[in-house]
Structure 1
């Protein structure tokens, strides 16, 4: 009876141990299940993010890029009395003309130019002709320092084909023989020869800012 009782006790203990191992295995299985769920949630792809930067929009002809965005301080601006000039023709294309207005410092001291300045077309009698100077060409404004004898330039472009109600059986506009050139930030002009005939489209001339020559 005593031996039988020991055998029963051993069997009971074995059942308890087996049950405990099963419980631990089930617990491990539960943990594995939870990890699997956690991993699945972590691997869910995130929604696409917005691009880091939007594509740049094309620059318009009047956009200022690369030059100084505002006029620098100038102690010695070039005045009309300090400058002389000429117009140098460049390559022409059908209906279009290009030239460079060159201005030179004829004074004995350094002066500066920044920007576009102005101009007016003149006829042979020095009367002002229709003129529309448009600041649409590059390069953009940058400070130009002119020592005595140094030169700067700006590009000019105009058309020679009649537009709108301009006559097509003769000159589109009266022929220009010179131009009044007004330095940037000045009001007094100086005169430069302009021997290229009429400027069509009501005297429309596209210009750049001054640049060093």
Structure 2
């Protein structure tokens, strides 16, 4: 099947990387042949970066997060993927565009800290689906209380690019979104019910926030 994405990932080459998170203009990019690079994070700066990655696999590098996110709050551990559940909520449509929110729920029994952008990878019944993540906005370290939630807004197009078919769907239709929390390597999964992602799987991703309607 076609190659897919994951958010900008920490510098490292690996088969099946997720387009990962980061918090600086030096975010870097991931290779569609497996592997990704990410530049040093810079606190308080906005970032726009593009990543294309192959399917996530075990041992894949984690996605970079906000500076100081791991353990940033005294007594609060870093939010790992194993501490979180993932789901998606529909934010509607507008003139060929689609919007959804990725919701990460803290199920660990304790407060934890995180920040930046998650690593993302679309997948379907036949394997990974092309995914390309564009990180937008400025990363901030946040604390997610026990049972609390963090949010990331997704924005993508349903209008095919010039070199994509428009009669049989622009790209294969995903059934799941694989997610790697910032500064982690483990995957969690959210169901995907929003159809194909055109423009070669391009998803614009806002950084994590405690605002349930990230903008």
Q: Do both proteins adopt the same fold according to a TM-score greater than 0.5, normalized to the shorter chain?
A: yes
In structure 2, C-alpha distance between the alignment counterparts of 1:68 and 1:189, rounded to whole Å: 27
Look at both structures and tell me which one has the larger radius of gyration over its CA atoms: 1
Higher relative contact order (CA 8 A, sep 6+): 2
In structure 2, C-alpha distance between the alignment counterparts of 1:108 and 1:191, rounded to whole Å: 20
How many residues are aligned here?
A: 146
Asked if residue 74 in structure 1 is aligned to residue 70 in structure 2, the reply is: yes
Q: Deviations over 1:103-126 (max 9, x none)?
A: 10011111111101210001034x
Runs of 4+ with >4 A deviation: none
Match of 1:144 among 142, 145, 153: 142
Structure 2-normalised TM-score? 0.64
Residue of structure 2 in register with 1:133 after alignment = 133
Give the Å deviation of 1:180: 0.5
- 2:69–2:115 Cα contact (<8 Å) kept: no
Give the Å deviation of 1:182: 0.7
Asked if residue 122 in structure 1 is aligned to residue 123 in structure 2, the reply is: yes
Residue of structure 2 in register with 1:103 after alignment = 104
Give the Å deviation of 1:188: 1.3
In structure 2, C-alpha distance between the alignment counterparts of 1:130 and 1:89, rounded to whole Å: 21
Residue of structure 2 in register with 1:209 after alignment = 207
In structure 2, C-alpha distance between the alignment counterparts of 1:156 and 1:211, rounded to whole Å: 13
In structure 2, C-alpha distance between the alignment counterparts of 1:195 and 1:149, rounded to whole Å: 25
- 2:69–2:78 Cα contact (<8 Å) kept: no
Residue of structure 2 in register with 1:167 after alignment = 165
Unmatched tracts of structure 2, length 5 or more: 1-24, 27-42, 46-65, 72-76
Give the Å deviation of 1:73: 5.2
Give the Å deviation of 1:164: 2.5
The 3 A distance-change label for structure 1 pair 73 and 102 is closer
1:85-104 aligned within 5 A:
85-104=86-105
Which is richer in helix?
A: 1
Structure 1-normalised TM-score? 0.64
Residue of structure 1 in register with 2:74 after alignment = none
In structure 2, C-alpha distance between the alignment counterparts of 1:73 and 1:144, rounded to whole Å: 8
Give the Å deviation of 1:141: 1.1
